[in-house]
Every structure is written in structure tokens, then in C-alpha cells.
Amino acid sequence: MQSLMTPGHKSVPVEILEAEIRRVCGSFDLEPMRRTGVVNGDVTTRRIGPFDTAIVALDASEVARNSRSIKQDPGEYFFLLMQDAGQCRVEQGDQVAELSPGDMFLVDSVKPSTFLYRGERSNQVSLHIPREEMLHRFGNACTGGLSISRDDPLWIAMRAVIAKMLLEEGAQAQLGEAFLCLMGAYLHSARVNGAAAETLLSRALAMIDRHRADPTFGPRELATRLNVSERMLQRHFRPLGETPGHRLLSRRLELAHARLSGRKDQPAEGVTAVAFDCGFNDLSYFYREFRKKYGATPGSVARCH
């Protein structure tokens, strides 16, 4: 992908480059890759349309903005970070993105953030969009960090407008407004898709609870009933930190544990019967996973209660 800018890398003391980053972007801490006191990089500024823009080149380990820095320097911007060359891992809250050339990430200046470069040479273009303007236009949809997917046609349109602003200074005001309109369309789309994803996940969790005792019910059947692919289903489960299969196994084990424990007025049931009644058709697998989850065998749980 063709670069938007070509900043230079030059050897400078770490504290000098850190001071330049703080002057242009706000309070960030620079961690070099090597303990030489020197880092290769540069920070320049340019006006692109209605936006102040930072062009940052460096080969550091990481650059971070923590809660203490935010208190000292609240920040009045959102940074639209465009990876122009090299790689960068962005972490803000629960949002994590591995940026390659062409990727974009909307950074919220009032939330802690970390940019990991791992010592590789990286060039980035950062549009500074006034925070008050963004909140007035788009509300909270733009807060907390947002990865802008290059699979979305709006990504192509936003990048094209930015490239055009770099070339045509006379039309920059109109192009700046066009860019914000495209950003609004992307945020609206992300909000709608996020709501749809939440609805699908809620349906999936309810369906697992309803059919967990059925041994023929698995991730493939779940995806079929929800009319999505298994891969898409896994993506919706990713925020939970588990797969549909792990969730189904966990709910079956919880059901079996409750049955083996029994109620005070009802004796515990036999282990084999409980295993089959709770959706397991392999006893050795049931014993192994039960012990892994509860640190005890099914039989000991039944005897204990």
C-alpha cells in the first residue's frame, strides 16, 4: 500500500523525541528498545484540511499514556491513527488492534492507551480531531477506542479523502466536512452491527442453556439454528474469552454438579445416569473434564453430599 507521508528517521536522544511527542500529541511516555539513550525517529506537524496532524516516525519499544498522564493533561482530541509503514499493536481498554500499513484506529485521548512497536521502524499519521466536535456530532459512539476495519468500504472512502486533502489545499474545508460525515456513517454502522452482535450472542447463550442436556447439540448445531457460520459464531463469543464449545461444556458440567450434589430433600443420583442425562456420551471424558473444573471426581461430590 502506498504511503501517505515519508517522514525521516534520525538518531535523537530519547528525552528529545519524548518531549516532541508530548509537545505535539500530549503527555505520552516513550520506552526505547535499547538502553543507549538514543532512538531513531522524528515528529513533524502538518495541517491537513481542518485538522492538526502529527507525523510520527520511531523504532521504540512502546509509547504509553496512563491515568496519571491523563490527569495532568486531560486532552481535547481524538487521534485518528493511520499506520503508514511498519507495524504497531494498539491497546485501549478492551480494544486491541494489530496495525499494518493502511490500518486505522480512533484513539480516545481521555482513556489510557499503549502503542507497542517492539523496536521495529514505524511511521504513523495522526489526525487530531477536536473532542468537543466529535462528541457533539456522534455522542459516545466514538469514545473508548475503535478499530476501523479495512474490510468496510467506508475505510476506502475515508483514506481517499485524507489522501485528497494532502494534495488539494484549496478544497480542504469541504473535504474535512466530507471526512467527518464518513466517520459518522462508520460509527453508526459499528453501533448497529454491535447491537446485532449482542443480540446474536444473547440468543446463543440462551439456546445453550436450553439444549445443554442434549448430547447431539453442539457448536455446529448451534450455528445452524442461528443461521450463521461456525467461524462467525466464534467471533461473537470472543469478547467472553471462550468458544461456543467451551461454554456448552461448562454449562453441562454445572448441570451435572448440581445433580450430583442433590438437594437436601433429594438424594444424589448415580454418576453414570447423571453424565448421560447432562449431555455426555463419553464417561471418561466426563470424569476428566469434571475433575479439571471442580478439583474432585463426580463420585466424591456425590458421596460428600
Q: Is 185 exposed, middle or buried (0-12, 13-18, 19+ CB in 10 A)?
A: middle
Global confidence as pTM: 0.64
CA neighbor of 118 nearest in space, from 168, 172, 58: 58
Provide the grid cell at 97: 488492534
> What are the phi and psi torsion angles at 105 (to 5°)?
-145, 130
Question: With bands split at pLDDT 50, 70 and 90, how would you rate the model's confidence at 171?
Answer: low
Q: Could you tell me the domains of the chain?
A: 10-148 (2.60.120.10), 212-304 (1.10.10.60)
List pLDDT tens digits, range 126-165.
999 999 999 999 988 889 899 998 888 999 999 999 988 8
Q: Is 30 helix (H, G, I), strand (E, B) or coil?
A: strand
pLDDT 10s digits, 54-73: 999 999 999 999 999 998 88
